[in-house]
């Protein structure tokens, strides 16, 4: 009996090991927020990759090294399609991560990919979690929204970048680096409403990471809503908005745990 039990245990261990070897590796697609680019993930990408994960960091049209593309033709749909294309290029189902404004982008991408089985999970990093018909501009103070709309109507399609310190970056070297990389945001991405067509399709697992030291007030209603929603996994980090810059290892560990 003892020998049979030991053989059974050995077989179970072998099967578990075999299943582990056959399980697809984690596959992250990272979508940045407003004024940023793929560069903002440069500290965290190698940390994820060292675990065997595949990592793709997207630069959205009109930003960072693609800033010369900025025009009135770039809108929210342009950015959603970029994220959709990045996911479709992956061999394995993706963990789609959206930071800040990127929450609009991954929400739209997940909706368009809803029937394709290409997503493992969604992770919102201190991000918007919008509903159908919402615009980023709806979250802006009225005066700022009116200025953005007036400038776009006059043919100025650049929403000026802000300072790195607005994202809770206090280290002088980090702030200087981020300031040197930030570029203007295409105004159309803030002004076009999000359209969701597959709300009835079951969504992949969803997680929210709140960055609370300091917190950005614009995300407070979203955090209050999701903190007690059983459909979401909710976590907090004691750092500022750009956690991939200020606490890359802690964020990498959390992304791996939530994936």
Q: Which residues are catalytic?
A: 100
- Count Cβ neighbours within 10 Å for each residue of 169-185 and write b for 16 or more, e otherwise: beeeebbebbeebbbbb
Among residues 141, 107, 127, which one has the least CA distance to residue 219? 127
Distance from C-alpha of 44 to C-alpha of 239, rounded to nearest angstrom: 15
With H, G, I as helix, E, B as strand and everything else as coil, classify residue 126. coil
- Pair 238, 209: CB distance under 8 Å: no
Distance from C-alpha of 134 to C-alpha of 39, rounded to nearest angstrom: 28
Strand blocks (E) in 136-183: 158-159
| Token output for 119 | 């997503």
Distance from C-alpha of 139 to C-alpha of 38, rounded to nearest angstrom: 24
Distance from C-alpha of 155 to C-alpha of 21, rounded to nearest angstrom: 55
Among residues 199, 156, 189, 185, which one has the least CA distance to residue 77? 189
User: Cis peptide leading into 214, omega within 30 of 0?
Assistant: yes
């Amino acid at each position: 009996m003892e020998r049979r039990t030991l053989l059974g245990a050995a077989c179970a261990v072998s099967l578990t090991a075999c299943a582990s070897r056959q399980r697809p590796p984690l596959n992250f697609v990272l979508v940045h927020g407003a004024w940023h680019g793929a560069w903002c993930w440069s500290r965290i990408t190698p940390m994820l990759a060292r675990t065997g994960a595949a990592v793709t960091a997207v630069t959205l049209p009109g930003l960072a090294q693609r800033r010369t593309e900025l025009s009135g033709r770039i809108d929210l749909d342009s950015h959603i399609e970029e994220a959709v294309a990045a996911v479709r290029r992956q061999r394995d189902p993706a963990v789609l991560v959206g930071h800040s404004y990127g929450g609009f982008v991954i929400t739209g991408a997940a909706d368009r990919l809803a029937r394709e089985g290409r997503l493992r999970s969604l992770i919102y990093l201190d991000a918007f979690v919008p509903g159908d018909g919402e615009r980023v501009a709806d979250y802006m103070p009225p005066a700022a929204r009116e200025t953005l709309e007036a400038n776009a109507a006059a043919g100025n399609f650049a929403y000026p970048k802000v300072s790195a310190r607005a994202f809770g970056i206090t280290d002088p070297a980090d702030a200087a680096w981020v300031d040197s990389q930030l570029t203007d945001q295409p105004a159309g991405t803030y002004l076009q409403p999000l359209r969701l067509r597959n709300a009835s399709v079951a969504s992949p697992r969803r997680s929210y990471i709140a960055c609370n030291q300091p917190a950005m007030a614009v995300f407070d209603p979203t955090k209050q809503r999701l903190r007690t929603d059983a459909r979401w996994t909710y976590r907090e980090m004691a750092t500022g908005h750009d956690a991939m810059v200020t606490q890359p290892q802690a964020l990498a560990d959390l992304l791996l745990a939530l994936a």
